[in-house]
Each structure stands twice: as structure tokens, then as C-alpha cells.
Amino acid sequence: MSLHDLHRPLGDTGLIVSPLGLGTVKLGRDQGVKYPNGFTIPDDAAARALLDQARALGINLIDTAPAYGVSEQRLGPLLRGQREDWVIVSKVGEEFDNGQSRFDFSPAHTRLSVERSLQRLETDRIDLVLVHSDGNDVAILRDSGVYETLAELKREGKLRAFGLSGKT
């Protein structure tokens, strides 16, 4: 089975995506995740095989985030030479350090987070950046300045689209 024939537009972003994406938290973080069973982070060969299999099946969307441990740092080298084959989704707002999540939706942190993700992912643009909500969706969007900052970054060509990964 292949998903190639099922790719479709993602809203009005101009992005064409598979109906399933590949989440990559398990490529970079094995603590503080809510899975019923433990797991081991795969080595680069296994991660590369996973990406190759996903691509062969027609999956073209990769979901990552700074809160996913070293996922972005691993994806950069793993995706070298394949950038145009993937729609990369990352996030801003949540950081995971020393076993704890912390949230910062300020304009300065939003910009820092996107710039850092670009470096880690070894790319000049992120296709879609989502605000990684802590559950206070309305307050984040109304008061933090995160959306205005993402709009600036989009105008600068550093991302193609942005949205919210909400909890309400």
C-alpha cells in the first residue's frame, strides 16, 4: 500500500502532504513521554531505515519539536540531500530540559526557537511551525506575541506557514 496517490493540500499553505505524518519524539527523547511501554531511541541506521520506509510508503510529513529531545539535531543529518522530499513541521513554545517541560511563548524566545530549529534541521526554512501549547490556548494567542512573531518569520522566508497545536 502507498499513500502517494492520497497526498493533498494542507489548507491554503501551498503544502501538499500525506494523510499520515511521521512523529519523531521517539528519535530524540525517551523520558517524560506518555507511552504505555518504554522504548529505546533507535541508532542512526535504524532511524534512517524508518525514514526510508516512511518515504517509500508515501509519507512526506515529519513532525518534530525542540521538546522532542535531540530529534531535530538527528533529523538534520539524516535528511541531508532529501529536503525537497519532506514537509517539515516543528514547534515553538515548549522546551524539555533535565526531565521537565517549560514553556515560553515570548517573541524573543519564539524567534530564538525558530532560528535554532533551522540550524538543527540544517535547512533554510521550516514548512510549518506550530505553537506547542501548554493548554492556555486563548491566552497564548491573545497575550504572548507568538503569532505576530511567527508572521514576521514567515515574511522573512524562514517558515511557510504557522498554526497552533492546542489542547482545548
Domains within the chain, CATH numbers bracketed: 4-165 (3.20.20.100)
The answer, yes or no, to whether residue 74 has pLDDT greater than 80, is yes
Q: Which residue has the cell 543529518?
A: 77
For 3-58, the pLDDT digits (tens) are: 999 999 999 999 999 999 999 999 999 988 888 888 899 999 999 999 999 999 99
* End-to-end Cα distance, the chain: 34
Ranges 34-38, 113-117, 161-165: which has the least confidence: 34-38
Amino acid identity of 147?
A: Y
* Distance, CA of 83 to CA of 30 (rounded, Å): 26
Using pLDDT thresholds of 50, 70 and 90, give the confidence band for residue 76. very high
pLDDT value at residue 117:
99
Among the listed residues 68, 86, 147, 162, the single catalytic one is: 68
Asked if the model's pLDDT at residue 1 lies above 80, the reply is: no
Angle at 102 between CA 100 and CA 108, to 5 degrees: 145
pLDDT at position 32: 83
Q: Report percent pLDDT > 90 for the chain.
A: 88
Give the mean pLDDT of 145-166. Answer: 98
- Is 35 assigned a catalytic role? no
**pLDDT at residue 99 in the model:** 86
> What pTM did the predictor assign?
0.95
